[in-house]
Amino acid sequence: MMKKPNILIIYTGGTIGMIKDPKTGVLHPLNFRQLLVKIPELNLLDCDISTTSIEDPIDSSNMNPTYWIEIADIIEKNYKGFDGFVVLHGSDTMSYTASALSFMLENLTKPVILTGSQLPIGDLRTDAKENLITSIQIAALREKGNPVVKEVGLYFEYKLYRGNRTTKINAEHFQAFASMNYPALVESGVHLKVDYEHLFKTNSRKKLAVHKRLNTNIILIKLFPGITKAAIESLLQTKDLEGVVLETYGAGNTTSENWFIEILRNTVKKGIHIINVTQCSGGSVIMGNYETSVQLKKIGIISGKDITTESALAKLMYLLNQNLNKSEFKNAFESSLRGEITK
């Protein structure tokens, strides 16, 4: 008889772990040891569930790389003892965390599924139960004794997405996330429908490598009509700056004014990496497609292709600590490392 999968739930904070006091209406964190009491349906799942938590659960607006390292550390320490992991997380920064974990957990051969909810677990109309139950089911999915999903995913409102392809698109709807440039990996209906073709293919012979050093000497600049020379110069003179994610228009276009191109050229000459990503929800940067982006290509701006802003920031933090020269860095960023860009 095949052993039941062991699933570890890691609580980091967020709405999904809150319960409303019936008298005051105030939200307070649920003791996750009471999880089986609050959601008795979990007893029906064909897996063994354990729970743990980061030391100080937080509102996801306070999420930062220190917590990412703590989550990665919990996964690393429990990697041999568990078949899958479900990370409960506030929705506001979930796409950032999913992206970061995808780069930090190299050669991942087990599912790491992030989920959360728009309403607390005790609410009458909560989406927390479905999101949690199905996330656990997906983490426990196996074929011939091996996990079906072997990557960092994000599950919300009946769909599992590749984590580093997601963006939060709505603060009020249950369908809070979208993956504009990559299809859903699993859809939940009467049955779980797995899109095997789009699952990340990992080399199961390689050992998990956990990268716990992230470089936060980076900034994000979103272009807008009327952005001034003084504003851009000020941002690019940030102390110890090593990387920039530049959110441009359309397929990677910017103003072609001389002062703007000159500032970028001088920044690149200093050895600061500038990544061109699109402000559009979907689509890709194609530098050189329009005259306004030809010069960017010439001065050595790196194309983010169809990467999300969240994933670009996480990838930048990860790659800046990989001791790569300028050419190696550009090649690595423009390549798909964890399925974050379309080849």
For residues 256 and 132, give the distance between their C-alpha atoms in angstroms, rounded to a whole number: 48
CB atoms within 10 A of CB 4: 14
The β-bridge relationship of strands 27-29 and 18-20 is antiparallel
Contact criterion met (CB below 8 Å) for 8 and 82: yes
Catalytic residue among 15, 115, 166, 278: 15
The β-bridge relationship of strands 167-168 and 177-178 is antiparallel
Q: Annotated catalytic, 202?
A: no
What are the E-state strand segments in 157-242? 159-162, 167-168, 177-178, 186-188, 192-194, 209-210, 218-222
DSSP 3-state assignment of 8? strand
The values of phi and psi at residue 240, to 5°, are 65, 20
Indicate the burial class of 80 (C-beta count within 10 angstroms; 0-12, 13-18, 19 or more): exposed
Contact criterion met (CB below 8 Å) for 59 and 17: no
Residues with catalytic function? 15
